[in-house]
Chains A and B, each alone.
Chain A
Amino acid sequence: MMEAQYRAPGSVDEAVALMAGAGGKGRVLAGGTDLLVQMRAGMVAPGLIVDVKRIAEMTAISQIAGAWRVGAAVTGAEIHDHAGLKKAWPGVVEAINLIGSKQVQGRASAGGNLCNASPAADSVPALVAAGAIATVQGPNGRREVPVEQIPAGPGKTSLKPGEIVVSFTLPARPAGSGDAYLRLIPRTEMDIAVVGCGVNLTMKDGTCTAARVALGAVAPTVLLVEGAAKALVGSKLDDKAIEAAAAACRAACKPIDDKRGTIVYRTKIAGVLLKRAVAIAAERARSN
């Protein structure tokens, strides 16, 4: 491996200053389960590794006025063990817990999953469906960015040079809300999504009052499918509304053909997963 310098700062300010000082050669390590593999494969050769695992703000989970703030470097294993977060956002937690193996979960983070910018990243559709907002800090201070605006293409983000994703905020939402994430893989574990689908619903008196739908692995970036949400809102989640939402998902797909699935297959599966994820999210909304 290329020799890189290593720093483990104790604050976000320090991490941002280190990244700025590295002049584009810095890489954030929020777990390292992608970064180390990429370094070994010669895909990246950072001059400086900035390990953010020692920054309290980036490794904490807290609740503020009904919203949940999750540090970008919190591990999947810690998220798995957090009963409050799991109750509020089971779909988000399930999605994060699909990243890699249980060993990978001991290190990997949702922040890393997002910034690695794979179109098939499991946590991202769930975060987008949740309406998660990323807090980003860079040389020019802090800004809040909807998660769907961060991926810019395979392996590319919209982050400006020196910017770091600090945390995610999952918004407060009314009673009767539920979310779900499903992905299709040929195995049952340890594989990359052929299609992923995140759904987040609010139900009132049997009617869907709010919805967000996101798809992964069917386009260069995770998609927020507004047409699918529109088809669900105002309905009783009857077959016609759900079929219209599935059709919107299929229409949004711009997938590639590869060994994991053809364009036709991925497009069809997007509709199937939408229907199944809506059913799970609706069931959770009713009992929440």
Chain B
Amino acid sequence: MTDSSRQRVALALAINGRRHRVTIEPSTTLLDLLRDELGLFGTKKGCDMGACGACTVLVDGRRINACLALAVMQEGRDVQTIEGLAEGEALHPLQQAFVEHDALQCGYCTPGQIMSALGLIGEGRATDAAGIAEQMSGNLCRCGAHPNIVAAIAAYAGA
């Protein structure tokens, strides 16, 4: 920690509406900040190379892979993760839709699927099932729940 050859940088950002100030090494990814520094384990580490989408979060409303973004790049930005959706015990309606449509088996990809779907709906691109499937192509589900995932998103989006 006192190694002066290692640059550490102070960072202020909002996560789920709450301001955080942290001091981190510059190469820390947003994903590692969330999980390792802040204990927000809802955002999952799957491939850690931008292929699976398990780490999808919203930054200023735009979906990104948290594994491909440095935490220091998020200075002053607004990050939304799965932990910010439920109100106490009351699930967010999209979470509820995933439950009702049986849109998961093991659940590991689910936080990324839900955050990606919220991004997609924000983009105004959830027009029909085929479009949703295409726009969700950056989120892989190894259990193969994709049809139910699409159905849950379509039900929530009213598509």
Whether chains A and B associate is yes
Which residues of chain A are near B65, meaning CB under 8 Å?
Answer: 33, 101, 103-104, 107
A11 to chain B, nearest CB (A): 17
The answer to whether A103 touches B26 (Cβ under 8 A) is no
Interface size on A, residues (CB 8 A): 31
Tell me if A's interface is mostly helix, strand, loop or mixed. loop
Looking at B33-41, B67-75, B78-86, B142-150, the stretch in contact with chain A turns out to be: B67-75
The answer to whether B56 touches A103 (Cβ under 8 A) is yes
The answer to whether A101 touches B7 (Cβ under 8 A) is no
The answer to whether A102 touches B68 (Cβ under 8 A) is no
A102 and B7 in contact, given A32-B68, A33-B68 (Cβ under 8 angstroms): no
Cα-based distance from A208 to B61 in the complex (angstroms): 44
Q: Which residue of A lies closest to B72 (CB)?
A: A6
Determine whether B49 belongs to the interface, using a CB cutoff of 8 Å to chain A.
Answer: yes
The answer to whether B137 touches A51 (Cβ under 8 A) is no
Q: Which residue of B lies closest to A187 (CB)?
A: B137
Determine whether A9 belongs to the interface, using a CB cutoff of 8 Å to chain B.
Answer: no
Cα-based distance from A2 to B97 in the complex (angstroms): 42
B149 to chain A, nearest CB (A): 14
Determine whether A20 belongs to the interface, using a CB cutoff of 8 Å to chain B.
Answer: no
Determine whether A77 belongs to the interface, using a CB cutoff of 8 Å to chain B.
Answer: yes
Name the one of B29, B48, B63, B73 contacting A53, with C-beta atoms under 8 angstroms: B73
Residue positions of B touching A, CB distance < 8 A: 6-7, 9, 25-27, 29, 48-51, 53, 56, 59, 62-65, 67-70, 72-73, 75, 116, 119-120, 123, 134-139
